[in-house]
Structure 1
Amino acid sequence: MSVRLGHAAIGEYEPVYVIAEIGLNHNGDLGIAKRLIEVAAEAGAQAVKFQKRTPDISTPEHMRLMPRETPWGTMSYLEYRHRVEFGRDEYAEIADHAALHGVDWFASPWDVPAVADLESSGVVAYKIASASVTDLELLEAVRDTGKPVILSTGMSTMDEIDRAVTVLGTERLVILHATSSYPMPPEEANLLMIPALKQRFPGVPVGYSGHERGLQISLAAVALGAVAVERHITLDRTMWGSDHSASLEPQGLDHLVRDIRIIDDALGDGVKRVYPGEEAPKAKLRRVLA
């Protein structure tokens, strides 16, 4: 089964779908967001992803007044959330810029009003962040849009994942294996969950959302059958913000997409055949013919 998402499809016999996660790495700056869209397009990613919150709803009560050191001075965590949040006008520009550069865009809503905001902005799909797997009200709101849904599974038990899949349904669902450590150490990758999720949810496309440093684990995920790969991107890993250190810079994203396409070609179809390039060595080296 494949799931159509904007200009491309996600599934077993489709090119691996690469999602460049911008998230909050724009730091509230629309110019940075646009440049990151360009970086994703130049690398050959099919989509960019953002995050959308209604800060007064989605910020946990115990975190609201916590002081946060920011480039704009010390402020409460709630004030910081408001400072980096884009509204409808900014997302209208993001939609236009993504279309101009030939990539789809969507976002992870963190609360029900954010779903309505994103609907008005014309997203092609929704992403359920790992932190929202247990928010059944949010899952129902996303499901009711009728659009494709990508479900990340970090910080979640199998029971929680099963419950989320039951709410969302499987008709337009893509599941991403994830481990929500930032950055993620290799010993926590547990990539064998990719075939395990395929077995548990037959017919549902399964991919990988990575928070590790480097490319090796994401490439191994593709070799294990991930049909989509999501990685955070940044202009500079030394920029201020919680996700930059576990993100790929432009050259890293270029290399990731390049190497994913090579693996795409190398995986083949599992049907044994004699390739044209083997005929000359066969004629030269095989002594006993069948």
Structure 2
Amino acid sequence: MYLIAEIGFNHNGDIHLAVDMIRAAAEAGADAVKFQTFRAKDIALPSSPHYALIEKGEMSFEDHERLRREAKTQGIDFMSTPFSIDAVDLLAKVGVSAFKIASMDCTNTMLLKKVAAAGKPIYLSTGMASMEEISAAVDTLKSANCKNIYVLHCISHYPASADQLNLSIIPYLKEQLDGIVIGYSDHFPGIEACFAAAVIGAQVIETHFTLDKTIPEGDHSHSADPADLKALKSRLALFESMAGSAQAISQRPDQECAKDFRRGVYTRRELKKGDTLKSEDLQFTRPASDFTPDDIDFLEGKIVTEDLPVNAPVTKKILDFG
């Protein structure tokens, strides 16, 4: 399971806080940190009520380089979401491990082609998108020679409520997008939805990350904090261990238990040499023996070749097969 800690702009433009968040995410077990690369004007008009907040999250090229270096030091991948053509160029120059496409740009063909041309893996969020739009976006990326595409189910509410999540879309996307890895980008408070998404088939989990969920603005309130992220990582690892592989059906770890747990055929009463076996002479209990309950029709009428006490196993060597 690949776990992405989405810092986004929860650093509020404080590069020192952003560095601390990378370290905390790595310590909690994240495989990657994901930021957002933009100028406020790339996202909203100056008249937007959120413009000032968005503007606080702007980062320079130097900021990006510092964060990439920190992620490398911490041994995790550095990703970001570009919100413009210029942002794609900046991130390509910085050297991100992968690009993330925001839900708002799932239908932005121009940006999709530009990101695909950078030659990096792409994680595509699908909030607000129809199946037709998602398929078209994937086709656009494929036609631009993107080799590694990850599609993330997402609900673009901040936060999303449980009844809005529709996690059953995850296996549906697997059916519709054959060969594409499907994941989940979370906007639900806590870690429950992330774990549920993994159980239902997500192979990538992205969740917002913060050091303080009480900060009133931005995505802090529905973000995971370090304790949450650590618990999620542990729970996902346990689930993966439990899930194992469907191929294990041919090499079951419990095959060796069959001889102890399956029913054999035993005598219900004392039998004498020369007796003819009848169904009422037999009982079926464990452990396994030469015969099973399915052999009852075969055993009836067979001659016993030696005396047998109660609870003796009925074996091939004590029967006369005529």
Task: Deviation per CA, 1:232-266: give whole Å up to 9, x if none.
Answer: 01001111422111100110000000000001111
Quote the Cα distance in structure 2 between the aligned partners of 1:80 and 1:284. Answer: 66
Give 2:107's match in structure 1, choosing from 134, 151, 168.
134
1:50 paired residue number: 35
Give the Å deviation of 1:224.
1.4
1:155 paired residue number: 128
Task: Deviation per CA, 1:189-208: give whole Å up to 9, x if none.
Answer: 11111111111111111111
RMSD: 1.7
Does structure 2 conserve the Cα–Cα contact (< 8 Å) formed by 1:27 and 1:241?
Answer: no
1:60 paired residue number: 44
TM-score, structure 1 length as denominator? 0.85
Give the Å deviation of 1:54.
2.6
1:286 paired residue number: 262
Does structure 2 conserve the Cα–Cα contact (< 8 Å) formed by 1:173 and 1:204?
Answer: yes
Give 1:185's match in structure 2, choosing from 142, 158, 161.
161
Q: Does 1:94 align with 2:67?
A: yes
Give the Å deviation of 1:65.
2.2
Task: Deviation per CA, 1:198-225: give whole Å up to 9, x if none.
Answer: 1111111111111111222211111111
- Choose between structure 1 and 2 for higher RCO, CA contacts under 8 A separated by at least 6 residues: 1
Give the Å deviation of 1:98.
0.6
1:256 paired residue number: 232
Give the partner amino acid of 1:53: F
Task: Deviation per CA, 1:93-121: give whole Å up to 9, x if none.
Answer: 10111111101111000111110111111
Alignment of 1:147-226 (within 5 A): 147-169=120-142, 171-226=147-202
Alignment of 1:213-252 (within 5 A): 213-252=189-228
Give the partner amino acid of 1:177: H
Quote the Cα distance in structure 1 between the aligned partners of 2:216 and 2:114. Answer: 33
Give the Å deviation of 1:186.
0.8
2:20 paired residue number: 35
Give the partner amino acid of 1:242: G
Give 2:116's match in structure 1, choosing from 143, 146, 149.
143
Partner of 2:198, secondary structure, is helix
Partner of 2:66, secondary structure, is helix
State the number of aligned residues: 261
Give the partner amino acid of 1:46: D
Give 1:266's match in structure 2, choosing from 242, 245, 248.
242
17-26 or 164-173, which moves further after superposition? 164-173
1:109 paired residue number: 82
From the CA coordinates, give the structure whose radius of gyration is larger: 2
Give the partner amino acid of 1:253: L
1:13 paired residue number: none
